[in-house]
Structure 1
Amino acid sequence: MNKALRRLHLIAYFTAILFYFLLGYPFLLFYARNPTKYYNQLVKMRRWISLAGFYTVGFRIKIEYEQAIDWNRNYIICPNHTSILDITVINNLCPSSFSFMGKIELLKNPVTRIFFKTIDIAVKRDSKVSSFKAYKNGSALVQQGKSLVIFPEGKIDDQYPPTLHRFKSGAFRIATENNIALLPVVIQDAWKVLWDDGLKSGSKPGTIHVKVLAPIQTNGLDTAAIDFLETDVYNKMKDAWDIYNKS
């Protein structure tokens, strides 16, 4: 698909997302008035909007599991990050209620703003105060039995084609201090259909392949084990990434 068609496809995708968002906006406004009471409804609306727009323009998802996942439990879900479509991949993957932790700039986006003001957690990367507040909010959320999605790379890097970059410790600290299992998720090729926000190279229809690794338990681990845990998860995810992207 040439560059002009990819740009048209990206416009179609953004238009589809906006269309479904506006369709659901009256419900979102109502639920947002009491996000604690309507947490599950807001999660379902976020999932519906993202998946409806996603499938409308020809994106698809194929998931491979290393082992069956018990979704009655909550997790710190750790996906790699190469595309804005990663958010929809997780919305599709996780059937239970969960929140994202993401960059504070998402509060400026007309679609994501309402979710980051209610059920998701915004963090300013270069602020220790913001990072600490996000950490406390994330810990409180998992203590309530909800799952939390943290992209451990912290951002989508400028490198193309993308690789798996070193992780930040936040996800592993929250998991360890709250005895919550980590669920590593390797999103193999979202970048091939829409890299980053799509503004540089557009998008195209296609299937995104996902490898969900076995949950990693943190029971009995103390803070001294965080570095080891972070390295272990990174190596497992990188192995899965390299096998797929070098094949």
Structure 2
Amino acid sequence: MISALFIISSLAFTYLLHIITNTNYYFIPLWLIAGVILGYLITLLFVIVQLPIFKKTKLFNKYKIYTYRSVAYFLNRYVFRLRLEIVGRENVPKSGRLTVYANHKSYADPVIVMEAINRPTSYTPKSGVYKFPFMHEMLASLGSFPIDRSSDRNTARAMVEAIKVVKQGMAMVIFPEGGIKDRNDIKMVAMRAGAYRLGVKAEADLLPVSIDGSIMIKHNVPFKRTKIKVTIHELIKYEDIKGLKTSDLADRVFHIINEELTKND
């Protein structure tokens, strides 16, 4: 939907500019650039005006979920210019409690995972992300769990709400490295064991995901497409890990994700 809106509005503006200015065909590349810019603005505005409504709708509102997934597809194709290869989609359970753990090398990773995981997803961003324009409304409408590293009390309070969201069936996406630590190393770095408390307390299954190639996005965008391989590993059932320490669970996921990322080295 979002991609179609962008393409149609861009072409429509290009055509209108050509007709209105009544210039020869040599100016079409210029009008096309202007049309693309206007297409981006129209698409952005279309999403922004709906954010206050989405914030008030139910967590699993079908139109809201469809719109966000459409936005993810648009961003991946027309902003970050990615070519995604998704392996293991059959490992994603269609329902039930689920936490998704992935490596984190780019700001595009959340929307990459949103497209790869074929079910409603929420996130665990640091609280500073909420200060960016429109991000608070969007993340709140997804039932996200803000991590306030300056206040354990605020984080604990937010975790209680996040557990409720997971128990309702929302897949919670977590980047357990605690941010983007090294953009030049493909491997996942040492993880925070505390990142697994949410999944354990919510008694949720765990799904490891390897994102290979996102370190190249900053070098390629906007002139070159970046090939990304997303590997969705086999599901780890809660019943199989409920007796593990979070540090042991962190080590297990660490090795699963890194084994995929380094197997071609």
Instruction: Please tell me the TM-score bracket, short chain as reference.
Output: 0.7 to 0.9
Q: What is the match of residue 46 of structure 2?
A: 23
**Structure showing the higher helix proportion among its residues:** 2
Alignment partner of 1:63 out of 79, 86, 91: 86
Determine helix, strand or coil for the equivalent of 1:209: strand
Change (3 A) 1:204 1:106: farther
Conservation of the 8 A alpha-carbon contact between 1:153 and 1:168: yes
1:156-190 CA distance string (max 9 Å, x none)? 01452343111122442222233211000000111
**Which of the pair has the greater relative contact order for Cα pairs under 8 Å at 6+ separation?**
1
Conservation of the 8 A alpha-carbon contact between 1:177 and 1:223: no
Letter in 2 for 1:130: N
The total of aligned residue pairs comes to: 228
Conservation of the 8 A alpha-carbon contact between 1:173 and 1:223: no
Alignment partner of 1:215 out of 235, 240, 258: 235
Instruction: Provide the TM-score with structure 2 as the length reference.
Output: 0.75
Equivalence map 1:56-135=2 (5 Å): 56-57=78-79, 58-65=81-88, 68-119=91-142, 120-135=144-159
Conservation of the 8 A alpha-carbon contact between 1:31 and 1:38: no
Q: What is the match of residue 213 of structure 2?
A: 189
Determine helix, strand or coil for the equivalent of 2:188: coil
How far is the alpha carbon of 1:106 from its aligned partner? 1.6
Q: Tell me the distance in 2 between the aligned counterparts of 1:147 and 1:97.
A: 6
Unpaired stretches in structure 2, ≥5 consecutive residues: 1-35
Q: Tell me the distance in 1 between the aligned counterparts of 2:42 and 2:127.
A: 24
Q: Tell me the distance in 1 between the aligned counterparts of 2:207 and 2:199.
A: 10
Conservation of the 8 A alpha-carbon contact between 2:125 and 2:145: yes
Runs of 4+ in 1 over 4 A off after TM superposition: 13-19, 37-40, 220-224
1:78-122 CA distance string (max 9 Å, x none)? 011000111111111122112111111221222433212332222
Letter in 2 for 1:77: V
Q: What is the match of residue 179 of structure 2?
A: 155
1:199-243 CA distance string (max 9 Å, x none)? xx9773222111111111121644653222111111111111111
Q: Tell me the distance in 2 between the aligned counterparts of 1:149 and 1:60.
A: 21
Change (3 A) 1:42 1:170: farther
1:35-87 CA distance string (max 9 Å, x none)? 43664443332222232132124322101128633223331000110001111
Q: Tell me the distance in 2 between the aligned counterparts of 1:129 and 1:202.
A: 41
Q: What is the match of residue 256 of structure 2?
A: 236
Conservation of the 8 A alpha-carbon contact between 1:167 and 1:234: yes
Alignment partner of 2:169 out of 109, 120, 145: 145
Q: What is the match of residue 71 of structure 2?
A: 49
Larger radius of gyration: 2
Alignment partner of 2:224 out of 184, 188, 204: 204
Letter in 1 for 2:200: T
Letter in 2 for 1:175: G
Conservation of the 8 A alpha-carbon contact between 1:177 and 1:222: no
Unpaired stretches in structure 1, ≥5 consecutive residues: 1-12
